Amino acid sequence: MNRLIFEKSVSGRRADNLPRLAPSEAGVKLRIPKKYYRDDEAALPELSELDVVRHFTNLSRKNFSVDGNMYPLGSCTMKYNPKVCEKIAALEGFSSLHPLLPQLRGGGMLTQGALEVLHETERLLSEIVGMDAFSLQPSAGAHGELTGMMLIAAYHRDKGNKKTKVIIPDSAHGTNPSSAAIAGFTVVSVPTGPDGDIDFAKYEAALDDEVAALMMTCPNTLGLFEKDILRIAELAHKRDALLYYDGANLNALLGRCRPGDLGFDVVHVNLHKTFATPHGGGGPGSGPVGVKARLVPFLPTSIVIKRNDGTYALEYEREKSIGYIAPFYGNFGIILRAYAYMLLLGREGLRRVSDNAVLNANYMQARLKGRYELPYDRRCMHECVFSAARQSLKGVHAIDLAKALVERGIHPPTVYFPLVVKEALMIEPTETESKEQMDEFIEVMLELADLADKDPGQFAAMPRNTPVGRLDEVKAAKDMRFKA
Amino acid sequence: MPYIPNTAADRSAMLKAIGVASVDELFADIPAKVRIGDLRIPEGRSESQVVDHLSRLAQSNVQNLTSFVGGGFYDHFIPACVDQLASRSEFYTAYTPYQPEASQGTLQAVFEYQTAICRITGMDVANASLYDGGTALYEAAMMAVRITGRKKIVLDSGVNPIYRNMLYCYTSNLAVDFQEIEVVHGQSDRHRIADALDENTAAIILQNPNFFGGVDDFSDIVELAHAKGCLAVVSAYPISLGLLKTPGAMKADIVTGEGQSLGLPLSFGGPYLGFMATRMEHVRKMPGRLVGQTEDAQGRRGFVLTLQAREQHIRREKAMSNICSNEALCALRALIYLSWLGRQGFRELARICAQKAEYAKTRLSAIPGVKVKESAPTFNEFTLELPCDARDAVSRLIDKGFAAGFPLGRYYKGMDNYLLVAVTEKRSREEIGHFAEALEGIL
């Protein structure tokens, strides 16, 4: 039943309805010599428009989504994406705007509305996280990390510092060490201590004059607030090492505290998490980077400025800028949605986001901890991390619980991450789930814990009601079939 | 409260279950001295107020210009079914398909997208997308460095200057050297490229059509590169592949490009779509997500993310790239767009663009003082030499309702009088005629 679109092709069928050439246009001879042409036709499918529409409509039905299912995927902040933001992003005055327009002489005035959106978004984000300036250019969280690491490298180079290392806790997202390495740094991993915070003594021991930065997620990926953060920052700053804030978990802190006040020098924010822009099946996201004043000279080109007369312009000439990390001004369509979301929620709304996100996660934690092992038993922030260690003694692993949840119509939590917890189940309900929905999830989780005790053999066949059952991943890697 | 369902009763029941008296207690780990009272941002607004405000801002952007601006980002028509289908929230509110049984919609679409990219570029394997054409080119450069173990890149100056700036930015902390080769007579300079390629060269990077609009067949350059053990990377404009020789047919090793033209709105610079394809032998060195075909226990076909050992969530600091979020929804748009165009439409669209551009070239170069710059053949974009500074001409034409093109003086020294003009299927013969009259009028 899952025929590929290419397998539905019928020779001679067409959906396209392209403009016709005027005779005078068609009459001009193309001056492209034969050797420059392709000698085959690209084997794209031949279908009617209805064929195309049915194909993708039916495909869409094979997805779990926030709009259709509870989606408590830890670290991903799968909150509801307000529909009005989609409507705003589709406004013709934004969606049809060519990015090169403001680079034409006299063109800046043609894009004032778009430039205002960028400038105002930077201003709001700066206040929300306590930074002095923002660049909206990074296209995703990992892209923001890389930009941040490049800013830190530029800062140290400018000061004549010889720094080669970046400290990263072992609970960090894989993007952190990867981004640091791509920016040319050596990664020093520091373990997690017994209470789930970074092991302070080991951090202190790792901190020397060659350390350029410490990358942290706060709350960390265990969903725990780093209690020693102020001491950690103070020690780093004494050595002129900078603090980088991975904003993946910012949904816990809105209106309660600001990374800038905690001592962080560079921050990235995932607009597709905290600021409710849709995840798109894996993207596009947006990962703006905020900095404290001493890093402002290094921000990527271009920079949106507000002139004294109230108009907006783009500035390209900044001597110390790291240069071009994006072709233009960032994922504008995503930034626009996030801007709308910030306007909708405002000061009170954003604080309530975090209040309810944290309340919901703690409720989950309280209700489930009798049946699932809680490796770090303390108040969590916006997510809680359990382990399926007890269930795995019976042969039911985190992945089995995940597949059983799929069968029940619930998207599973993140499994096997963070790496520091064996059989991890990382649950992030977000503030947009209701208590009834969470209660349903909790009931299912408790039933599954019972089933794991009484009849663990049942799990292997799950899920039984999805378009396909458990797929053979080894075969996929072995066959290496990546196209029709 | 918008989007937050918890009522006062819900909250007190939950606090009771947790065993705390207030929400504030849940934030006790935050040191008292850094807790804040209120954010200094405005109060929330109603949905209608926000729509009004942003509609006003949208309207303040000028929308009625007839555009001939391209430069790698093109004003193509987007069929309604692309917007409609990509707006299905089963697609756009899903996450990366880590749980394949719950994500076959996204996974099959990505598999089909990979197939479509391979078919238009003539390559073996495409990844699930990168951020944009520029970052895709940077990833290709680093992929070539990994494959060859060499650190020098020869870079054709016909590659989009924005992308060249990005390449320099991203490699500023890495030991990678670039040697730029100037374009001559609108095409890549074979002699200087041959001289530049040596046993330290990881790759030659080329673009087709180049930034000036010139069309080329790089087969001979690819052969030169391979003879020196270097890879050939080609950045391609996907719409041109309806007519032009594919990078695959030129034996290129890595192909990248900007997929914006494939059904994505210009949207002031993003989100866009970086595509990347390569030869099978290099697949394990390719960055980004990859979807592969497999089956379940009953033998039913299904799709999964595969070869994940290349990626950051497994390999951490040794990963091929740090990319995590990609541009999946943009890739879906591209796939729907290419499915709508189909085999015949894909070729026909390329032909329409090329014919209209050739017609515009004829009309515009008939204006006294205006010349077509290069002798190279062009596809849908070409360079005009004006008898004045192109920036001034553009500025004056804006007042007449035209975005006339992109003045090359912004990125190329000594090219102040040159204007890059792009024509898509959206420009009618009448618009081209009016544009020619307006240009003549201001000269």
| Interface predicted TM-score of the whole assembly (ipTM), two decimals | 0.98
Contact map slice: B 378-417 vs A, CB within 8 A: 378-379, 391-392, 394-395, 398-399, 403, 406-407, 410
Please answer yes or no on whether B215 and A56 come within 8 Å at the CB atom.
no
DSSP string covering A43-93, please? ------HHHHHHHHHHHHTTB--TTTS---BTTT------HHHHHHHT-HH
Owner of token pair 């369509």: A333
Q: Which domain holds residue A21?
A: 5-60
Rounded CA gap, A66 and B379, in Å? 43
Give CA–CA dist A190/A207, Å, rounded. Answer: 10
Question: CATH: 3.40.640.10, 3.40.50.1970, 3.40.50.720, 3.60.20.10. Which one for B80-336?
Answer: 3.40.640.10
Number of domains in chain A: 3
Do A48 and A90 share a domain, yes or no? no
Which structure tokens are listed for A317?
């000439």
Does the distance separating the beta carbons of B60 and A113 come in below 8 Å?
yes
Based on the domain organization, do A48 and A169 belong to the same domain?
Answer: no
d(CA B202, CA B208) in angstroms, rounded, equals 20
Please report whether residue A390 resides in a domain: yes
Token pair for B415: 């090219």
CATH 3.90.1150.10 occupies which residues in chain B?
66-77+349-442
Regarding whether A435 and A290 lie in a shared domain, the answer is no
Chain B residues with CB inside 8 Å of A96's CB?
A: 63, 75, 265-266
- Residue A72 inside a domain? The answer is no
Instruction: Report chain B residues whose CB lies below 8 A from the CB of A477.
Output: 292, 306-307
Same domain? For A264 and A327 the reply is yes
Do A282 and A366 lie in one domain? The reply is no
- Where among A42, A60, A78 does a domain terminate? A60
Q: Do A344 and B47 touch (CB under 8 A)?
A: yes
Give pLDDT tens digits for A96-117.
999 999 999 878 889 999 999 9
pLDDT of residue A214: 98
Closest CB to B328 among A92, A114, A281 = A281
For chain B, 443 residues long, give each residue's pLDDT as a single digit of tens. 799 999 999 999 999 999 999 999 999 999 999 999 899 999 999 999 999 999 999 999 987 899 999 999 999 999 999 999 999 999 999 999 999 999 999 999 999 999 999 999 999 999 999 999 999 999 999 999 999 999 999 999 999 999 999 999 999 989 999 999 999 999 999 999 999 999 999 999 999 999 999 999 999 999 999 999 999 999 999 999 999 999 999 999 999 999 999 999 999 999 999 999 999 999 999 999 999 999 999 999 999 999 998 888 888 988 889 999 899 999 999 999 999 999 999 999 999 999 999 999 999 999 999 999 877 999 999 999 999 999 999 999 999 999 999 999 999 999 999 999 999 999 999 999 999 999 999 99
Q: What pLDDT, on a 0 to 100 scale, did the predictor assign at position A352?
A: 97
> Using the 8-state DSSP alphabet, how is residue A18 labeled?
P
**Residue B386 zone, left/alpha/beta (φ > 0; ψ -120 to 50; rest):** beta
> Considering only alpha carbons, which residue of chain B is nearest residue A270?
B325
Residue A443, phi then psi, degrees to nearest 5: -60, -45
Domain co-membership, A135 together with A28: no
How far is residue B431's CA from residue B217's CA, in Å, rounded to a whole number? 32
Interface probe with B: pick from A2, A6, A7, A36, most Cβ of B within 10 Å = A36
Q: Do you know the residue count of chain B?
A: 443
Every domain range in chain B assigned CATH 3.40.640.10: 80-336
Question: A25: which chain B residues are within 8 Å (Cβ-Cβ)?
Answer: 355-356, 359, 429
Looking at residue A1, its pLDDT comes to 61
| CA-angle at B98, arms to A89 and B269, nearest 5° | 25
* CA A274-A275-A277 angle, 5° bins: 115
- CATH number of the domain residue A105 falls in: 3.40.640.10
Confidence tier at A2 by pLDDT (50, 70, 90): confident
For an interface test with B, give the residue of A4, A16, A136, A329 to mutate (most B CBs within 10 A): A16
Do A109 and A56 share a structural domain?
no
Residues 6 or more apart whose Cβ sits within 8 Å of residue B135: A139, A143, A326, B166, B170, B274
Closest CA to B408 of B383, B439, B388: B383
* Residue B225 to chain A, least CA–CA distance (Å): 20
The number of residues making up chain A comes to 484
pTM value surpassing 0.95 = yes
* Confidence (pLDDT) at B312: 87
pLDDT at B114: 98
- Whether residue A333 lies inside any domain: the answer is yes
Outline where DSSP puts E strands in B147-279. Answer: 152-156, 177-181, 201-208, 231-236, 254-258, 274-278
Same domain, A261 and A372: no
Which residue from B minimizes the CA distance to A177?
A: B317
The SS3 assignment for B106 reads helix
Å between B236 CA and nearest CA of chain A: 13
Condensed to tens digits (0 to 9), the pLDDT of residues B272-320 reads 999 999 999 999 999 999 999 999 999 999 999 999 988 888 889 888 8
Residue B205, helix vs strand vs coil: strand
Neighbours of A228 (CB within 10 A): 16
Q: Please tell me the distance from the alpha carbon of residue A131 to that of residue A259, in angstroms, as a whole number.
A: 8
Domain final position from A344, A371, A397? A344
* A279: confidence class by pLDDT, cuts 50, 70, 90: very high
- Do the domain assignments include residue A363? yes
Do you find a cis peptide bond into A219, omega within 30 degrees of 0? yes
Residue of chain B nearest A336, judged by CA positions: B54
Angle between helices B133-148 and B161-170 (to 10 degrees): 50
In the predicted structure, residue A177 carries a pLDDT above the cut 80 = yes
Give contacts of B50 with chain A, Cβ < 8 Å: 84, 88, 340, 343-344
- Kindly state whether residue A74 falls inside one of the protein's structural domains: no
Query: Rounded to whole angstroms, how far apart are CA atoms B148 and B150?
Result: 5
Q: Assess whether A295 and A201 both reside in one domain.
A: yes
State what percent of residues in chain A have pLDDT above 70: 100
Where is the domain boundary, A344, A362, A394? Answer: A344
Are residues A223 and A295 both part of a single domain?
yes
d(CA A115, CA A110): 10
User: Is A381:A361 a contact under the CB 8 Å cutoff?
Assistant: yes
* pLDDT > 90 fraction of chain A, expressed in percent and rounded: 98
- The verdict on B372 touching A (C-beta cutoff 8 Å) is no
Identify the band that residue A242 occupies on the pLDDT scale cut at 50, 70 and 90.
Answer: very high
A207 three-class SS: coil
**What amino acid is encoded at B384 in this protein?**
L
Same domain for A392 and A259, yes or no, is no
Question: Residue A332 and residue B338: Cβ atoms within 8 Å?
Answer: no
**Distance between CA atoms of B264 and B73, rounded to whole angstroms?**
10
Residue A75 domain flag: no
Asked if B257 contacts B238 with a C-beta cutoff of 8 angstroms, the reply is yes
Which overall architecture, per CATH, does domain B66-77+349-442 show?
Alpha-Beta Complex (3.90)
Alpha-carbon span A387 to A372, nearest angstrom: 6
Q: Which two tokens stand for residue A133?
A: 């300036």
Contact B393, B384 (CB under 8 A): no
Residue A266 domain-assigned?
yes
The verdict on A211 and A320 lying in the same domain is yes
Token pair of A411, please?
Answer: 């998207």
Q: What proportions of chain A, in percent to the nearest 5, are helix, strand and coil? A: 40, 10, 45
The 10s digit of each residue's pLDDT in A416-475 is 999 999 999 999 999 999 999 999 999 999 999 999 999 999 999 999 999 999 999 999
